[in-house]
């Protein structure tokens, strides 16, 4: 069924009648297709579900193309990013094309479905802007961080789940809460893996978040418990290239004070809430997606 989503995305891009765009699209590495899987599991395997899944994956791909330009990221999913190989101008335009073609198809859906997805894209753009601002300096405010994560990552997953529920005539709100929790937990796990996993496992440089200026949840929790000297040292490492020793210091401090564990438990709590919502609705396979996502190691 996922293959139908893949081929519809290709078809949408082919409709643009431009070989260069088609080639660039074909060369993009695929992710886990989490959003497409959610749509198909929630809305069933109808033609409309395949269309909605393809549209949301195109919008998501567009957001990552823009994000790699904004983050100056040279690697995505283990291969050179489009901005690295073709330059930022091409990457931005390719993002615009995928995003606007997605919207062109989205307007064919019922108004409330189109609105749910469209307003999530506004949210993720605001979230990305907030991420850029928060990354300019060390920022230990966990509320600001959580707000940014909700907008940047969870809003689109929330809208994916609720719009799929609307399509299937299911209770949109419950699925929206499920998607929101899944999205926030997903980002927190991502933040943890950035610290605990190797570059090979991640398909992008390890411990890069802090170098990029992102004070993610484990860093915020570590800062809260460090003494004055430790706080000063952690702040002094923010936003700069880290040596092996500096990386080791951060990791060992986090392990010692349980900052990684605390972040993981928070993700788990959100995940458990999503699991019980779905078990209550008789949606066991949606519950399993949460468990697998939280327990993933890449
Ligand atoms: C990845 O964050 C980025 C996002 C989830 C959203 C990016 C959103 C935009 C650029 C807004 C523009 C939207 C469209 C549709 C054109 P990250 O940098 O923390 O994760 P990463 O490690 O995967 O790069
Ligand atoms: Mg990025």
Q: What percent of the chain has pLDDT over 90?
A: 90
Closest ligand 1 atom to Cα of 95: 16
Radius of gyration of the chain (CA): 19
User: Which residues are within 5 Å of ligand 2 (an ion), measured at CB?
Assistant: 67, 71
Closest ligand 1 atom to Cα of 214: 19
Predicted confidence band at 201 (pLDDT cuts at 50, 70, 90)? confident
* 174-to-43, 159, 199, 218, 275 alpha-carbon distances in Å: 14, 11, 37, 29, 11
What per-residue confidence (pLDDT) applies to 242? 95
Ligand nearest to the CA of 131: 1
Which residues lie closer than 8 Å to 220 by C-beta, 6 or more apart? Answer: 140, 141, 142, 145
List pLDDT tens digits, range 3-59. Answer: 999 999 999 999 999 999 999 999 999 888 999 999 999 999 899 999 999 999 999
- Please tell me the distance from the alpha carbon of residue 46 to that of residue 52, in angstroms, as a whole number: 10
Ligand nearest to the CA of 57: 1
DSSP state letters, 138-193: ----HHHHHHHHIIIIIHHHHHHHHHHHHHHT--HHHHHHHHHHHHHHHHHHHHHH
95 Cβ closer than 6 Å to some ligand 1 atom: yes
What per-residue confidence (pLDDT) applies to 89? 97
Q: How far is the CA of 22 from the centre of ligand 2 (A)?
A: 24
Question: Using CA positions, which residue lies closest to atom 23 of ligand 1?
Answer: 64
DSSP tag of 30: P
List pLDDT tens digits, range 126-177. Answer: 999 999 999 999 999 999 999 999 999 999 999 999 999 999 999 999 999 9
Long-range contacts of 279-283 (CB under 8 A, 24+ apart): 281/170, 281/171, 281/174, 283/41, 283/42
Which residues lie closer than 8 Å to 293 by C-beta, 6 or more apart? Answer: 34, 182, 185, 186, 189, 271
The phi and psi torsions of 88 (rounded to 5 degrees) equal -65, -35
What does pTM read for this prediction? 0.93
Question: Using CA positions, which residue lies closest to atom 13 of ligand 1?
Answer: 63
The phi and psi torsions of 174 (rounded to 5 degrees) equal -60, -45
What per-residue confidence (pLDDT) applies to 198? 84
Q: How far is the CA of 124 from the centre of ligand 1 (A)?
A: 8
Q: Which residue has the higher pLDDT, 199 or 267?
A: 267
What per-residue confidence (pLDDT) applies to 295? 87
194 Cβ closer than 6 Å to some ligand 1 atom: no
Ligand nearest to the CA of 153: 1
Average pLDDT of the residues in 113-128: 98
């Amino acid at each position: 069924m996922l293959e139908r989503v893949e081929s519809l995305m290709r078809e949408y891009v082919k409709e643009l009648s431009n070989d260069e765009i088609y080639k660039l699209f074909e060369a993009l590495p695929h992710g886990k297709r989490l959003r497409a899987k959610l749509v198909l599991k929630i809305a069933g395997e109808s033609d409309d579900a395949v269309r909605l899944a393809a549209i949301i994956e195109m919008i998501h791909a567009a957001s990552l193309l823009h994000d790699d330009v904004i983050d100056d990221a040279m690697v995505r999913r283990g291969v050179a990013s489009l901005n690295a190989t073709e330059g930022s101008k091409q990457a931005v335009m390719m993002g615009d094309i995928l995003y606007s073609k997605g919207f062109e198809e989205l307007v064919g859906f019922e108004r409330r479905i189109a609105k749910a997805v469209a307003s999530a894209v506004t949210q993720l753009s605001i979230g990305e802007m907030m991420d850029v601002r928060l990354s300019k300096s060390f920022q230990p405010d966990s509320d600001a961080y959580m707000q940014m994560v909700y907008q940047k990552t969870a809003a689109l997953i929330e809208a994916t789940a609720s719009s799929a529920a609307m399509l299937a005539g299911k209770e949109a709100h419950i699925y929206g809460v499920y998607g929101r929790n899944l999205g926030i937990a997903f980002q927190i796990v991502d933040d943890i893996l950035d610290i605990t996993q190797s570059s090979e496992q991640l398909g992008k440089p390890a411990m890069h978040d802090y170098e990029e200026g992102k004070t993610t949840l484990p860093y915020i929790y570590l800062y809260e418990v460090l003494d004055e000297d430790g706080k000063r040292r952690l702040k002094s490492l923010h936003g700069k290239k880290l040596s092996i020793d500096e990386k080791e210091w951060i990791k060992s401090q986090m392990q010692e004070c349980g900052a990684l564990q605390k972040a993981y438990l928070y993700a788990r709590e959100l995940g458990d809430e999503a699991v019980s919502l779905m078990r209550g609705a008789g949606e066991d396979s949606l519950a399993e997606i949460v468990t697998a996502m939280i327990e993933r190691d890449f």
